[in-house]
Amino acid sequence: MPKGKEFWSRDFARRYGHASLVADKDKYLCASEAPKHRFNVIGTGTMGQEHIRVTNFEGRATINGVYDPEPLSVENAKTAHAVHSDEPLQSYASIEEACEDPDVDGLIICTPNFTHIDAVRTAARSGKHILIEKPVATTIPDAWEIAQMADAHAGIFQVGLQYRYKAIYTEAIHEVLERKTLGDIKTISMAEHRMPFLDKVGQWNKYGRYSGGTLVEKCCHYFDLINLFARSRPTRVFASGSMAVNFREFDHEEGKADILDNAMVIIEYENGIRGHFGLVMFAPMFYEEVVICGDTGRLRAYENMDFLPGDTLKSGLEIYGGETCPSRMTTPSYPQAIEESGHNGATFFEHVHFVDDIEKGSCTGPTPVDAFWSVVVGAAAEKSAASGEVIEIDGLLKENGLDQV
């Protein structure tokens, strides 16, 4: 994050001050520099439009143009862009044109999951900086191919596992991995209770063959966080899940939906840590939490949107230190405008890190290798839920031609 005057001018005063009340010649705290970077967005559905909004809001880059084969999505993108910028938004006829435009230095890929591999193959040839939405791919081989392409890529290559930047998880990461408040970690448990999948163009997210399955598509965020906290390689996965409520009568052009709407997943790691994830996608709310226990303490962090009146806390962080350190309860949050820009502020700070990495020339993550392992755990969980068997990760990798990983 910027410090000192740069922070106040670029971030706080410009967004929350009275910049419109004085002429440019009189601005100091509210002064802002022209964006240094120009990005193209490939895929302009819900997430593509969020990236357009956040890019303009963050301020160091602007959106040059978009590519999407769906005309309505392009029109919606132009509307979203016009709210923040008077600059016209270019529309490209092909993904190749969008990737090769010499006026652009960054590409944000938000196409449907099953198209990521082909989109990256095209985008990587450009040498431009890349931010690709999660999951990085729908299969283990494709995720590994992308990781290999990223390793050879000259520009920054970041994956949109932006939950790392949610306020609750940023604080949890600091306490667990940097301060080591809990001592040696032993167990990690995460949960998400939420409403069903939203509508998408073509309803691709209702089919495992296009989304990778719920435990890849939706849950890779959580598997990435569990992997991050564990700091170890996953060795075994066991999962149980079903389609209990959602889309049981759904029958679209591609046939009947086949995605899980609930699951319980157990992950074992080489270092002895055990992880657990529980999913329910028919709850009338959005709730997620992590509970981490070490040999000297316990942490719980949660985020809640229940649509009820009153003063229900929307987030919380609890640390119980026993006799080893102070216990405390806090409510991690970002400024309201940042939280409202997308995913409770996570997308904003994802962009901050993306632009920071571009300007310093090194990628701090989440990397395609991180994303690969989140897909591995998700794919193992999908296979386990379908078969009822414990999945050995080494065996799964070997099945996918990756016995040397």
Helix axes 368-387, 220-230, angle to 10 degrees: 110
The answer to whether residues 97 and 222 belong to one domain is no
- Residue 365: the pLDDT is 82
Structural domain boundaries, residue 72: 4-161
- Asked if residue 296 is part of any domain, the answer here is yes
According to DSSP, the residues that pair with 129 across neighbouring strands are 106
The two structure tokens encoding residue 297? 């303490």
Tell me how many degrees the CA angle 307-194-288 measures, rounded to the nearest 5: 90
- Asked if residue 404 is part of any domain, the answer here is no
- Residue 25: the pLDDT is 82
- Of the three residues 136, 161, 186, the one that is the final residue of a domain is 161
- Asked if residue 196 is part of any domain, the answer here is yes
Number of domains making up the chain: 2
The answer to whether residues 145 and 229 belong to one domain is no
**pLDDT per residue as tens, the chain (405 positions):** 333 334 444 455 555 556 667 787 887 766 677 899 999 999 999 999 999 999 998 989 999 999 999 999 999 999 999 988 889 999 999 999 999 999 999 999 999 999 999 999 999 999 999 999 999 999 999 999 999 999 999 999 999 999 999 999 999 999 999 999 999 999 999 999 999 999 999 999 999 999 999 999 999 999 999 999 999 999 999 999 999 999 999 999 999 999 999 999 999 999 999 999 999 999 999 999 999 999 999 999 999 999 999 888 899 999 999 999 999 999 999 998 899 999 999 999 999 999 999 999 998 889 999 999 999 999 999 999 999 999 999 999 999 999 888
The two structure tokens encoding residue 153? 């890529």
- Asked if residue 359 is part of any domain, the answer here is no
* 130: helix, strand or coil: strand
The two structure tokens encoding residue 21? 């009340």
- Of the three residues 161, 194, 209, the one that is the final residue of a domain is 161
Q: What predicted TM-score, i.e. pTM, was given to this entire model? A: 0.94
Query: At which residue do the structure tokens 């929307």 appear?
Result: 314
Contact (CB, 8 A) for 51 and 41: yes
- Of the three residues 161, 189, 213, the one that is the final residue of a domain is 161
The answer to whether residues 171 and 157 belong to one domain is no
- Residue 19: the pLDDT is 63
- Residue 24: the pLDDT is 77
The answer to whether residues 150 and 173 belong to one domain is no
Question: How many angstroms separate the CA atoms of 335 and 310, rounded?
Answer: 20
The answer to whether residues 155 and 173 belong to one domain is no
The answer to whether residues 185 and 323 belong to one domain is yes
242-266 burial, b if ≥16 CB within 10 A, otherwise e? ebeebbeebeeeeeebbbbbbbbbb
- Asked if residue 341 is part of any domain, the answer here is no
